[in-house]
Structure 1
Amino acid sequence: MKKEQIPMYKKSMEIVLFLFPQLNFSAPKEEAYFKMLSPGDIQVLRKKDNKTRVKEKEKKTRLSLLLTKSGSHENVNPESKNPTKSITPAAALKWRESFEEMLDHKDGLETFTTFLKTEFSEENIEFWLDCEEYKKIKSPTELVSKAKKMYAVYIDTEAPKEINIDFSTKTAIKQNILKPTHSCFEAAQSKVYSLMKKDCYPRFLKSDMYFNLTKTLPPPSMSRRRSRSCVFNDRSEAETELGIWL
């Protein structure tokens, strides 16, 4: 190896050994290489290493979510398997009366869950239902087990079905499950219920899935209005259109 190539070779080895210390079988040599690096080089290498670790963590998180939710989302189609085939328009129309009315109806709950799956947000209704079951548990041992499982699935930062709640609520739950009671998840359940009622439920009522059940057309407010910039053929047509906008 030529002499002028030696510095470049050492530089390459320094980077490789710094990023992949497991490849170095001689600790003293690694320390020598590390000492040869300038403060600027060390800072650059650390930034690259941190970015690599962040990317790897993001990949693992996405993979975990994909594996967990793939069963729920694979080939999701509102009309596939026709889960709403037996629902009559009259029954579906009652769900418009209130969110509570829909959840109390078995078919309403199932249809709403199917709708949430199309939006990749079924963790909300699943968490709410699990909370309802949790409050019915009588065995203290089972209560502890269920609390820990729900925290791991819905609350933890890397939970596969993490629900959208604030940090303070998460922290309170983490403390409460150390000595779990039936009210451990009440605050989170209330927030998720409010989210579904105010956000998901109105979208469901405007969805094609719901209109297909009720055999109704979308409300006039959803229809596309004619542009003001349209060209009129004659004065009478212009006056007619002007009357619509006034």
Structure 2
Amino acid sequence: MHFSPDGLAAFRKFLKSEFSEENVEFWLACEDFKKTKSSTKIAAKAQKIYADFIEADAPKEINIDFHTRNHISQNISEPTLSCFDDAQRLIYSLMAKDCFPRFLRSKEYKELAEKQENRNERRWLPFL
């Protein structure tokens, strides 16, 4: 998935207006996490993602099923770079099927489209 800065900013603004910005924040956190090389940093970043998005009453708790949440909870003490993959796929699917189609009808999207037309750019959609 490729994000342009303008497309991502508009999509985040839209999600924030719908009180669901945690979805794209989680997705981006997972993308960053998967690039981590140090085992010490893997553990620290995994704990942060878990605390921010996964555990019950997390400040940015994402909407995932019990099975996925439970699987992550059981394995968070020894995280791997793929430990959030199932949850990330669920959130991606949610955004692609639910949030993104609404975004395409939103004021934020229309403003972005006008801005890009004025620049005569075409490669700006946050999801390709």
TM-score with structure 2 setting the length: 0.84
Q: CA deviation at 1:111?
A: 1.1
Which residue pairs with 1:146 in the alignment? 45
Q: Deviation digits for residues 65-95 of structure 1, max 9, x if unmatched?
A: xxxxxxxxxxxxxxxxxxxxxxxxxxxxxxx
Q: What letter is aligned with 1:210?
A: Y
Q: Deviation digits for residues 100-148 of structure 1, max 9, x if unmatched?
A: 5xx4322111110111111111000000000001001111111111111
Q: 2:25 aligns with which of 111, 126, 133?
A: 126
Which residue pairs with 2:73 in the alignment? 174
Contact 2:6/2:112 (CA < 8 Å) preserved in 1?
no
Q: CA deviation at 1:175?
A: 1.5
Alpha-carbon separation, structure 1, partners of 2:21 and 2:13? 8
Which residue pairs with 2:11 in the alignment? 112
Alpha-carbon separation, structure 2, partners of 1:162 and 1:210? 26
Alpha-carbon separation, structure 2, partners of 1:202 and 1:165? 20
RMSD value, Cα: 1.2
Which residue pairs with 1:160 in the alignment? 59
Which segments of 5 or more consecutive residues in structure 2 lack a partner in the other structure? 115-128
Contact 2:30/2:84 (CA < 8 Å) preserved in 1?
yes
Q: How many correspondences in the alignment? A: 114
Q: For residue 94 of structure 2, give the secondary structure of its aligned residue in structure 1.
A: helix
Which residue pairs with 2:120 in the alignment? none
Which segments of 5 or more consecutive residues in structure 1 lack a partner in the other structure? 1-99, 216-246
Alpha-carbon separation, structure 2, partners of 1:104 and 1:147? 23
Alpha-carbon separation, structure 2, partners of 1:138 and 1:205? 36
Are residue 193 (structure 1) and residue 87 (structure 2) matched? no
Q: What letter is aligned with 1:134?
A: F
Q: What letter is aligned with 1:118?
A: S
Q: For residue 102 of structure 2, give the secondary structure of its aligned residue in structure 1.
A: helix
Q: What letter is aligned with 1:205?
A: L
Alpha-carbon separation, structure 1, partners of 2:104 and 2:24? 16
TM-score with structure 1 setting the length: 0.45
Which residue pairs with 2:36 in the alignment? 137
Q: CA deviation at 1:172?
A: 0.5
Q: For residue 57 of structure 2, give the secondary structure of its aligned residue in structure 1.
A: coil
Contact 2:30/2:88 (CA < 8 Å) preserved in 1?
yes
Share of identical aligned residues, percent? 57
Contact 2:103/2:109 (CA < 8 Å) preserved in 1?
yes
Q: Which has the larger radius of gyration?
A: 1
Q: What letter is aligned with 2:53?
A: Y
